[in-house]
Structure 1
Amino acid sequence: VFCSESFPLFEYLRCKSNFGSPCIDATYKVCPKKPKFYQLFTIMAKVNNVAIPITWALMDKKTTLAYVAVLEHFKSTLAQHLQPKKFTVDYESGLASADLLVYPDALICRCYFHYLQALVRRLKSYGKNFMTQLENWEEAQIFVRKIAGLPFLPAHCISEAFEWLITQITSKSEGFLKDVFSKTSSRTPNMTS
């Protein structure tokens, strides 16, 4: 884990009684090959609605235990005075679990970019023919846009809205879309959590 405690932003955050809502993300493409690391993990502070990296960790695993170790070090050594009320993270369950273990009173918010990324990956997983049909079918495109808009609803309404959308699939589209977005589909990760 590394950061510059003399970095002006870190000093600014030290003066604040509350850290606000840090964003946490990792990338796999910019890690050193020797020694071999799996990911570069980044904690970002939000200042004036802009996420600015303040702490990085080179990690050789992406388990809940590994995330807990990094977050514990951040909390106990680098940012003892900061008590985030909310974290923005991707859809990786290990990271969300680790956040709650280290900061049990924090709220976990999911990142909209990562939600859309997961949605597009799921659609692409059905193959090129499926994507070609989707690109040429306005009804299906509108349905996908509605699914993409679910995170803008109040959290307690998302599951009900998702279920309602599924019931609105027309018989013409049923075979095409219902399997993709059904909660019971073996290929469908839970997009409503």
Structure 2
Amino acid sequence: MAADLHLVLNNRNNYNLVYEGRVHLLRHTNFEDKQWICQRVRSGCRGTVYTNLEVNTVLRSTPHSETCTADESVLYRIEKRNTLKRRAGEETKTVPQIYGEECSSASTSLETAGQFPTYKKVKAAMYRSRAKHENIPELAGHTVWCMDGTFKIVPEWYHQMFSIHVFKEGKLIPLVYCLTVGRDLPTYHEIFDNLILKAAALGVVLQPQTVICDFETALIPAVQASFPGVQIQGCYFYFCQAVLRKVAELGLRTRYLHEAETKKKIKMLMATAFLPLPEVPAAVDLLGRNVTGLIAALFDYLRREWTTPNRLPLWNVYNVQTRTNNHLEGWHLKMNRQAGKHHLSFYELLQLLIDEQGSTETLMQQVTSGRVNASDLRIKNNKYEEVQLRITALTAEYDGGTRTMEQFLKAVAYYVPEPITF
């Protein structure tokens, strides 16, 4: 009898019972037996199996419905699916390579080849297994995290896709994706609580020292509560996008796009982030002389919202070497371009993230194997590297007194990021 009983791992890391070509779910464990119900119970099947506690003997059973037919290949498919997931989580080979090897082994028998799971059906599960086993330990190995929220490509019934990125050999890579229906404190607490629990289950500890994030009221206290002692650093990219959203809100979009002087003034205003912290208020006052109307309203907004003692250090990037604006801007543009439209369906977004995880996986494997290093990745980012070097040189000229404040802001304004959505 025991030969007909097979315990197989399910998606929740518990066990299902396969018996006589049908899958059964554990319903109760009593003092003397276990009760297993048919997986198709919601379709009306009342088939039940009672086994002893060791699950090697059937004590009694009730029949399945006439429409619940046995499938003699179900055990094979589940075992192969679990093998594919296990290998994806444990091995460094790519997901397509692992699938190809298992598929090739199955093809040696005509009887089993036709029952082997298709790549389409197991691809997502394999990448999820790999993400859980690789991405979270990778996250634990980094002390600087960048947190990001994107809205343009998510399904309409979701509020945002929240993601966590790290720098790998100087390249920003995403490791965590969360679709959320809110942006409040409980939402972020739930995200971080689950991350910490998953990390503990994998035997690693998440201890970020610096978190670079948006200036959200709810996000920052959630980060500080979940990771005590963490330093919060605002992101210049987020600062620029917030100011540009205010430009649109004030009705300055057309003037920004078509009036060179207006665009220069606004970009110089955002360039004040590159000045030494104590000099920023004076620079805002310098640029704000003689401005009127809507431009004056923009300056009032910046003074009120961004130059307070608590806010100003968050977006100031004077002599900050790890600036995420170029990396994040590039990642947003890439994801938007690959999506090809606004508000993807859930499965379209899932496929996009699976492809992105494949790219992340490949990069991590290349770095781990030594085939790729920081200089190789910098080749792809020559433009950003040149911008970084130019801003560093301009800062040295300003600090050395060879450029005035206004000259410095005019020069740096050329490197202020454009709006992602406007």
Paired residues of 1:20 and 1:46 also in contact (CA < 8 A): no
1:51 aligned residue:
172
2:240 aligned residue:
116
Match of 1:152 among 274, 280, 288: 274
Paired residues of 1:123 and 1:131 also in contact (CA < 8 A): no
Amino acid at match of 1:179: A
Question: What 5-or-longer segments of structure 1 have no aligned partner?
Answer: none
| Secondary structure of the corresponding residue to residue 244 of structure 2 | helix
2:288 aligned residue:
169
Amino acid at match of 1:150: T
Paired residues of 1:44 and 1:51 also in contact (CA < 8 A): yes
1:102 aligned residue:
226
Alpha-carbon distance in 2 for matches of 1:134, 1:29? 21
Alpha-carbon distance in 2 for matches of 1:60, 1:141? 35
2:146 aligned residue:
23
| Secondary structure of the corresponding residue to residue 29 of structure 1 | coil
Alpha-carbon distance in 2 for matches of 1:47, 1:133? 36
Match of 2:208 among 66, 80, 84: 84
Paired residues of 2:273 and 2:280 also in contact (CA < 8 A): no
Identity of paired residues, percent? 22
Amino acid at match of 2:305: N
| Secondary structure of the corresponding residue to residue 190 of structure 1 | helix
TM-fit CA distance, 1:85: 0.7
Specify whether residues 105 and 114 from structure 1 end up closer, same or farther in structure 2 by C-alpha distance, changes over 3 A only: same
| Larger of the two Rg values belongs to structure | 2
Paired residues of 2:136 and 2:199 also in contact (CA < 8 A): no
Alpha-carbon distance in 2 for matches of 1:133, 1:46? 33
Amino acid at match of 1:27: T
Question: What 5-or-longer segments of structure 2 have no aligned partner?
Answer: 1-127, 312-422
Alpha-carbon distance in 1 for matches of 2:270, 2:173? 26
Q: Spell out structure 1 runs of 4+ moving beyond 6 A.
A: none
Alpha-carbon distance in 2 for matches of 1:133, 1:5? 44
- CA-atom RMSD, angstroms? 2.9
Alpha-carbon distance in 1 for matches of 2:170, 2:196? 22
2:255 aligned residue:
132
Alpha-carbon distance in 1 for matches of 2:254, 2:239? 18
| Secondary structure of the corresponding residue to residue 143 of structure 2 | coil
Q: TM-score, normalised by structure 1?
A: 0.74
Is 1:6 paired with 2:133? yes
2:57 aligned residue:
none
Alpha-carbon distance in 1 for matches of 2:234, 2:293? 30
Specify whether residues 60 and 132 from structure 1 end up closer, same or farther in structure 2 by C-alpha distance, changes over 3 A only: closer
Amino acid at match of 1:29: K
Deviations 1:115-163 (A, max 9, x none): 11112111122225x732784352x444322221122234x43xx5235
Q: Of Structure 1 and Structure 2, which has the larger fraction of its residues in helix?
A: 2
Alpha-carbon distance in 1 for matches of 2:289, 2:275? 23
Alpha-carbon distance in 2 for matches of 1:50, 1:189? 34
Specify whether residues 148 and 68 from structure 1 end up closer, same or farther in structure 2 by C-alpha distance, changes over 3 A only: same
Specify whether residues 40 and 100 from structure 1 end up closer, same or farther in structure 2 by C-alpha distance, changes over 3 A only: same
Paired residues of 2:148 and 2:214 also in contact (CA < 8 A): yes
Size of the aligned set, in residue pairs, is 177
Q: TM-score, normalised by structure 2?
A: 0.37
Specify whether residues 39 and 169 from structure 1 end up closer, same or farther in structure 2 by C-alpha distance, changes over 3 A only: closer
Alpha-carbon distance in 1 for matches of 2:294, 2:158? 41
| Secondary structure of the corresponding residue to residue 158 of structure 2 | coil
Alpha-carbon distance in 2 for matches of 1:142, 1:85? 36
